[in-house]
Structure 1
Amino acid sequence: MEMIDEPSGSNGKPSYAPLRANQKAGSNDFVRKLFKILEGAEYNDIIRWTEDGDSFVVLNTNEFTTKILPQHFKHSNFSSFVRQLNKYDFHKIKRTNEEKQNSQYGEHSWEFKHPFFKIHDEDQLDNIKRKSAVQKKIMLDDNTVLVKQGGDNAGGLDSTADLIFNTAVSKSKFNQLKRKVETIEEEVNYLKNENYELKLGYQKSQSRYNTLLDNLISTKEFNNTLLTNFNVLVNSLSSQGLDIPPNLTFNATMPNTHTIKNTQSPQMSSAVPTLSVRKPSTMDSNPASTTPNMILDHPILRPGFHVLLVEDDSICIQLCSKFLMKYGCTVEVVTDGLSAISTLEKFRYDLVLMDIVMPNLDGATATSIVRSFDNQTPIIAMTGNIEDQDLVTYLQHGMNDILAKPFTKDDLHSMLIRYLRNRVPLSEQRAGSSSKDQHSPSLPQESEVSDLIREEPQIKKQRV
């Protein structure tokens, strides 16, 4: 039940009366009491009319709080009294600091004004109404309630609030939309998983295709060498007087690399493309026929390459070093990115195997610094982070390729073949030795198969 201010009783203390149901909500007893205090001029040293009579001023707020409020009002402090004035649309007169200092009422005085609150004009008090507020609540969700003010000031509601109320949806419709969003999210997650599986299948087929291509090129090289030597043998026997059938001399029938280059790589499929290879029938019974299989498993790599291994894991260092030395490479090991930069500033290497996550400085940042003074040395990233964005980041930092962890010795060997096949070891270049043997068959150019040899080697039996 709301309590309103009433004139004080005989004991000097205020008395209160309940607000009846048929009484107007805009009752201004508070204003009339304030008017009587000002008209009575009993507290002119604390509160009084201004000279113009259209406003009143509180000269001393402390005295007003201790002497007038307890006896005539129910408010316990001056701030509460000011809030009550605001509810009746009284406004405080704002003054600058200079005006406050020169004010005849004192620097700390408070002046209030209302258009219908004037000296000796009690009839105008009926026009002063207390602001009424009717609240309308709308539940936007389980935790949010929007409150709309109504009543006398409802017309002043800004357009933004009106727009919210006019376009608000019901709770049932909101829950229905929420369920639809959850369904769409489930479908998106399913498609993400399906896309990931397709991506793995594509990577696996790409790795198989690259291996098959390397084996095909190696078989062609071996076949050319074998047939060349066979023709030399036939010519030698003919020069010794032996009768050689005229149709015994033949040339290599392996498809050339230009034909291979036009072959399209598999797209999002786990099937491995089939390429036919015709072997000479006369070699089937020869014990040396096992040699091609050996070369197919390990394509030819010139010995003497010097590799810098940047890795902080001791097990990975041991296995990588073992594999590299098995393929005829010499290895130097550093364990962080800063050491790699310092070493590459002093020495040159045929190839750099760079781990990504390392202490002091990561591999990608180290590579970007190395590229400021060395753009020639191939730098291969070794990492288990092979998301699309990660791969783009590594390449943007200057890395040539990515060797995905965990990798096998065959994966490592394929990477060495890809970048060192047509290179002469730096040690031989410095020694001024010949880059190729004159009698050895020419090797295919890297540009002829670069479109078919791609990244993303897959997981196999023995892992690094």
Structure 2
Amino acid sequence: METSEDLSNSNGNDFLGTSVSKTVQKTSSNDFVRKLFKILEDGQYTRIVKWTEDGDSFVVLDTNAFTTQILPRHFKHSNFSSFVRQLNKYDFHKVKRTTEEKQMSQYGEHSWEFKHPFFRIHDEAQLDNIKRKSALQKKIMLDENTVLVKSQNSFDNGQGSALDSTAEILLNNSVSKSKFHQLKRRVESLEQEVTYLKNENYELKLGHQKSQSRYNTLSENLIATKEFSNVLVTNFNVLINSLTSQGLDLPTNLTFNATMPTTNSMNAAGSPQMSSVVPTLPVKKPTHIESGPPSTTPQMILDHPILRPGFHVLLVEDDSICIQLCSKFLMKYGCTVEVVTDGLSAISTLEKFRYDLVLMDIVMPNLDGATATSIVRSFDNHTPIIAMTGNIEDQDLVTYLQHGMNDILAKPFTKDDLHSMLIRYLRNRIPLCEQRDEVPSKDPTTPPLPHDTDVSSLIREEPLTKKQHV
């Protein structure tokens, strides 16, 4: 690009066509400046923009009118910010004034004054010295791998303003390198803290698992202990009844010693579970007493326990097949059966009537068996309630006992399993119907029926004791 000085040193040897071409290049290179100069020289918009009194700068008196009237007509856009950026690219500078100077200014408080050393009133020749600044790129590190490049060039007459606006938005929302490194150090510190918390959480989790294991072991031992105690009480009571039936006067306080089994002996395959069959301990037949009828000997009673007829059982079950089979077994053992199909019906029935035993399913519509049992225990603590379920995990057993159930009959069960459960809880009881309707016989020839001895009382209080142990 050539200047006027280049033309003055041409020694007159250039052709006329070459001179015209260079003049066109000079004119087009600062056409924006020449348009502005012509507007000021014509004086057509002196109320909007004009030369200052010194003539070495110009002032925009009304930016709104300048934007709406002059820019669309002469510069093909209506963006005052773009006009100011164009001035900056030709090295025009806004004259800065203090607040007091603005208030005292003769051009108005909101006027804009711009100045260039070669832009003067009536001095068109100096316009050739006003050059557009060379293209520059401003690089800003957004992070270690990203660089934002802002070009200082934009198109004349407001073209490219959108690109500049986008660059300004990015620049205004970016952070400095020092700020970035500060944030990076903060993130690294947080990552270290998260790692520490993860390790601490892992250690706490291990400790919790160990505590849970010890708790499970303790629960298993308690269940095994209670199971063994039930077996001892049952067999001891059978022995007392057998000896009493032979006419033997026994001391009022009887004790015997037995070795308590360990958890492993209760269930070698895993954690102990509530057995649905009552194990029996061997009892020696007394040698100094004459043997009575074969059906009344202790050994026969232990091997073939007989359930007294007349017990009334409430069966809480929603499965039709299970209802049929269970009812058939119960009636075979001399029990009368009443069936309800959900927990709510069971609660309502037990509020109105008393039963010798309740067989309670766990999973039922409306209300599950465990919750129904906990509600029943609020007004009935004596009726034995046996859970019938296939969920016999350790935690499930503890839950059932905590809700007030006496024992668990694991599904699927056989008729012998059901019979053993009936023997365990009904052998030493008198059916409720006989307690209400009949007076016990006092015939000395008739063997005395089991009655509420201390041992029987211990069995009746067994649900509360089990609940306290768990």
Q: Structure 2 length normalisation: TM-score?
A: 0.49
- Larger fraction in helix: 2
Q: Which has the larger radius of gyration?
A: 2
